[in-house]
Structure 1
Amino acid sequence: MKALVTGAGGGIGAAIARALDARGWRLVLVDREAGLLDAVAAGLKTPPEKLACDLSSREDVERLCTAIMRDHADLDVLINNAGIGIPGAVADLDQEVLDRHLEINLRAPVRLMRAVAPQMIARGKGAMVATVSLGGIISLKDSAIYSASKFGLRGFLAGFHQEMAAHGVKVSGVYPAAVDTPMLHHEALHGGSVLNFIDKVMTPEDVAAATLKAIDSGKLEIYVPWSASILARFFGAFPWMIRPLLPTMEKIGEKGRLKFIARKGFSVE
């Protein structure tokens, strides 16, 4: 069995790679930084193939798609895990940052799924999994562009899941709450949403386990943890209720943020 994982040099991607390696899978690992891939590969039992690709570059993405179609027609699983999340008000973020969210979080995974779809359809099997986010269900201030990209990815997966089911191909999304990764560390210290810290912070291994579940089951949406999705889906259905309840939620989240910072031993300037 062969799987390709994007964002494999990061915390969640590395955990997914280790989980698949433990199953004896052959891996193709993709990340922007080759050095990160080397570090992940060093901890695996089976040497993976490593491909450097900047998913914010359409030219790089097209080269990756060409390589996949040329060299990996036997790909069993595609895991679109790479993502970017930079907190900030839309008016304060550079346009380049806004564009990178759309390119990395939405366009690149759609393009990669489109690239592998014909070969999986021809074989009548395969699985595609995307690491989405509860930010793809509920949108909050200072995360508008992040949620826009993740809302779009969720919508794509919902329709694509229906299309590919007829061909025996599984399409799933994994929806983590806050995960203990460098991205969350940055948010905790640099003005990210304190609502990340209302519920339990998950580990990359938790997300990796959910990814394996998605590969096996083909379920459209898997939440990590399921309990955190209840509030997100409620506010996703009634977004007008967010503003009046936000002050109370932020107080709870701020307490959680401070506890997280203390537990991690971060210094606050």
Structure 2
Amino acid sequence: MAGNRTSGSVIAITGGARGIGAAIAHRCHALGATVAIGDRDDAAATGTADALGDRAHGYRLDVTDEKSFTAFLAAVEKDLGPIDVLVNNAGVMWVGPFDEEPESAAAAMVAVNLLGVIRGVRLAAPAMRARGRGQIVTIASAASLIAPPGESTYAATKHGVLGYLTGVREELRGSGVTISAILPGVVDTELAAGTATGAATLLSPDDVAAAVVAIIDRPRFLLTLPKYVGPLTAAARLLPQRLRDAVLRRMVPDQVAAVDGSTARDAYEADHLR
């Protein structure tokens, strides 16, 4: 892959039927990639692929199930060839006070956001290492670096993802396999319905898709969106605790307050977390 590294690549995307995943599929496909769209809603995955046309294929994928993920990767390789890039995009989020969070919601976030990423890396990376090339891009979150009130368990899963990727990246050093993570703020999707953005601008799914293409074209480990979030959080960590708290409270949204009394998230959470 030279020049536009996306062109000619086989790119597999988890949670690819809607939102950020669909935007990634659209942008990569437009740049000449062959895209495999995996989603637990296989009809939606097929529909998104059909709308793109040639070089787009939809598959059923449940990232919480080992057999499903193994079958997805095998089917993509059989149908399309070796996977150049796996995009770990699937994610779910419950928002509200920590002591009102249903245990089922916490379990779902750990299963999808953390164990789903671990499973994807563990299943996809060995074949890439054997070929001496490949990239795994994970859509993590700015919550990998901060923890907004109301998103405590979600942030815990994203902190876990960043820790896991940091260790695996070192294990794969020199293998030809690149580990990358994109850490966006709040994105305008159903996952973020009813939440606040804090000091940052609301991102679009295509903003994240553009970041995926950028990190494929110029591989690196971390990319925050907006870009200033990374340096700002790093600088805040150097401050005394009281000053750090003051800075972060101005920067990070209070999602408990944002969703208090709101029904904006009811449909999403009923569909994804119960």
TM range (shorter): 0.7 to 0.9
Hey, what does 1:65 align to over in structure 2? 70
Written as runs of structure 1 = structure 2, the 5 A alignment for 1:83-232 is 83-184=91-192, 186-188=193-195, 194=196, 196-232=197-233
**Per-residue deviation, residues 216-247 of structure 1 (Å, max 9, x unmatched):** 22200011111233333344566944655566
Q: Which residue of 2 aligns with 1:38?
A: 46
- Measured in 1, the distance between the counterparts of 2:114 and 2:232 equals 24
CA shift at 1:75, angstroms? Answer: 0.9
Q: Secondary structure at the match of 2:201?
A: coil
2 CA distance for matches of 1:62 and 1:239? 48
CA contact (8 A) 2:141 2:184 kept: yes
Identity %: 27
Shift >6 Å, 4+ stretches: none
Give the Å deviation of 1:172.
Answer: 0.2
> Cα distance, 1:68 vs. partner?
1.4
Q: Structure 1 45/107 Cα, relative in aligned 2: closer, same or farther at 3 Å?
A: same
Cα deviation for residue 198 of structure 1 reads 1.6
One-letter amino acid of the counterpart of residue 217, structure 2? D
State the AA in 2 paired with 1:101.
Answer: M
Q: Which of 67, 76, 89 in structure 2 is aligned with 1:81?
A: 89
Say whether the 8 Å CA contact 2:141–2:182 is kept in structure 1: yes
State the distance in 2 between where 1:52 and 1:237 align: 45
Gaps of 5+ in 1: 189-193, 258-269
Unaligned runs of 5+ in 2: 1-8, 259-274
1:62 Cα deviation after fit: 2.5
Higher helix share: 1
The Cα shift of 1:113 comes to 0.9
Question: Quick check: 213-222 or 239-248, which moved more?
Answer: 239-248
TM-superposed CA distance for 1:207, in Å, is: 0.6
Secondary structure of 1:118's counterpart equals helix
Moved more, 7-16 or 237-246: 237-246
Aligned residue in 1 for 2:24: 16
In 2, the alpha carbon distance for the partners of 1:110 and 1:32 equals 18
Give the aligned residue type for 1:165: R
Of residues 114-123 and 71-80 in structure 1, the stretch that sits farther from structure 2 once superposed is: 71-80
How many angstroms apart in 2 are the aligned matches of 1:158 and 1:80? Answer: 15
TM-score of the aligned structures, taking structure 1 as reference length:
0.82
> Is contact 1:138–1:233 with CA below 8 Å preserved after alignment?
no
Which segment drifts farther, 207-216 or 95-104? 207-216
Letter of the structure 2 residue corresponding to residue 62 of structure 1: K
Q: Compute the TM-score of the two structures, normalised by the length of structure 2.
A: 0.80
Aligned length: 244
CA contact (8 A) 2:198 2:250 kept: no
What displacement does 1:71 show?
A: 5.2
